[in-house]
Amino acid sequence: MQLLRDLGRRKVRTTLTILGITIGIWALVVFGSMANKINALVAGGSEFYAGKVTVSAAGGSMGFGSPLAISAADRIAGLPGVDVVVPGVSLLMSDQASTVSFGIPELIEGQVAGADRGRETFALHYASGRALTPADEGSDVTVVGSDIARQHNLRVGDSLTLRGEPFTVVGILEPTLTAPDTTAVVPLAAGQRLFVASLPTLVSARLDPTAIASGLTVYPKPGVAPEAVAAEIKTAEPDLVTMTSADFDRQVGSSTSILNAILVGIALISLVVGGLSVINTMAMSVAERTREIGIKRAIGGGRLRIVRELVTESALIGFLGGAVGLALGAALVLAANEAGRSSGTVLFQLTPGTALTAVAFSTLLGAFAGFVPALHAARLDPVTALRYE
């Protein structure tokens, strides 16, 4: 009570101090959210690949690229460690290979619905509409991820043009923060048709679309490690390339590691800048009160009590600055995400952990930054503190 009263009577100084802290915490929240997003992309991808082996023809990468004969699926299904094999096609949604966007590219995925026999563990939730069913084979329907739906402003029943062909949207997914968000899932037959059409005519002329896939998803038998299955496949089918979540972590991890290093660097810099701005503003505002501390000491105020009062006040100011910084940072992050959504560049992810850390950081640092000059002033003899300007 008395604390709030004192802060209220020092409005200008308190406001400036809170503002200084706000700026630091704001930077922390914004850059922290950016680093979070990158981490979520990488972690989400690795989760997406968990528990299975993705097989593709040599020369392709990450499940799209060269065609492989669908007959390989039957041979692999016969391997001892293998439970289910799901053939599928995936290709970039855009035929302009030069399109570079942040994060995961937009993909078309073709699969027979339910072919995984319930083995897929990556749970998808539908914001509207329905999942594809085996009965959809032969028709041009699609289930789209949240980012695609937003970007093309799609509702269930709308038409979406994929590689020049119209598809009817029957379902829209909830955001997953990873690959499915930027994926349009179509029945296998439709996927095969689009895939073959995307290949050079010289190649495609010799192919039967129904006999090819661009990749296989292999689910191991219960208790068998995906890595063991991958080894089996490599021995049996030397022409094929396998990928497990461990491979994904290595591959994607290394390709995003530079970006990650930059972001961690930025986050650290913002931590230091944010931290210094908290320390600086708080230390200044307490040091300015050395004289007042001298007065209180002179008329009989104990060191401990005076320091305790100032630390409490500093913690409160740190908390307020942190809360305002968090609010402003959250506002910017949300606005930027909203603006970036239409172009598919969602740059930030503000997690409760980041929010909590930012406020706790500013509160604790505020208390500490107040404590040091308060202790210094309280240890001066009162006359010296009184002469402080």
Partner 1 sequence: MAPTALLEGANLRKTYRLGRDTTVEALRGVDVRIEPGEMVAIMGPSGSGKSTLMHILGLLHAPDLNHGPRPELRFEGRDIVALSDAERTRIRARRMGFVFQDFNLVPTLTALENVMLACDYAGVRGPAARTASRGALDLVGLAGRGDHRPVELSGGEQQRVAIARALVNRPSLVLADEPTGNLDSERSAEVLALLRRFNREHGQTFVLVTHDAEVGAACDRVVRMRDGRVRDQAPVALATPVDLSPRVAAVA
Residue ranges binding partner 1 (CB under 8 A):
6, 9-10, 292, 294-303, 381-384, 386
Please spell the DSSP secondary structure of 115-146, one letter per residue. TTTT---S---EEEE----GGGTTS-EEEE-H
Q: Spell out the residues 6+ positions from residue 125 whose beta carbon is closer than 8 angstroms to its own.
A: 173, 174
What is the amino acid identity at position 17? T
User: CB 16 → partner 1: shortest distance, Å?
Assistant: 16
CA dihedral 186, 188, 189, 193 (to 10 degrees): 70
Q: Using an 8 Å Cβ cutoff, are 127 and 146 in contact?
A: yes
User: CB 312 → partner 1: shortest distance, Å?
Assistant: 15
User: CB 380 → partner 1: shortest distance, Å?
Assistant: 11
User: CB 5 → partner 1: shortest distance, Å?
Assistant: 8
Locus of tokens 């603006």? 339
Give the closest residue to 285 by CA, choosing from 12, 8, 24.
12
Please spell the DSSP secondary structure of 158-169, one letter per residue. -EEEETTEEEEE
Nearest to partner 1 of 209, 301 (CB atom): 301
- Determine the 3-state secondary structure of 92 from DSSP: strand
Distance, in Å, from the CA atom of 7 to the CA atom of 314, rounded to the nearest integer, reads: 10
Nearest to partner 1 of 19, 295 (CB atom): 295
Nearest to partner 1 of 77, 295 (CB atom): 295
User: CB 298 → partner 1: shortest distance, Å?
Assistant: 6
Distance, in Å, from the CA atom of 64 to the CA atom of 115, rounded to the nearest integer, reads: 19
Nearest to partner 1 of 262, 383 (CB atom): 383
Give the closest residue to 256 by CA, choosing from 66, 60, 82, 34.
34
Nearest to partner 1 of 234, 303 (CB atom): 303
Distance, in Å, from the CA atom of 33 to the CA atom of 15, rounded to the nearest integer, reads: 26
Nearest to partner 1 of 107, 307 (CB atom): 307
User: CB 12 → partner 1: shortest distance, Å?
Assistant: 12
Residues facing residue 143 across a β-bridge: 171, 185
Nearest to partner 1 of 51, 382 (CB atom): 382
Q: What are the structure tokens assigned to 64, written together?
A: 């799209």
User: CB 293 → partner 1: shortest distance, Å?
Assistant: 10
Please report, for residues 21, 31, 88, 331, the alpha-carbon distance to residue 273 in angstroms, rounded to integers and kept in the order given.
10, 12, 49, 20
User: CB 317 → partner 1: shortest distance, Å?
Assistant: 14
Nearest to partner 1 of 13, 234 (CB atom): 13
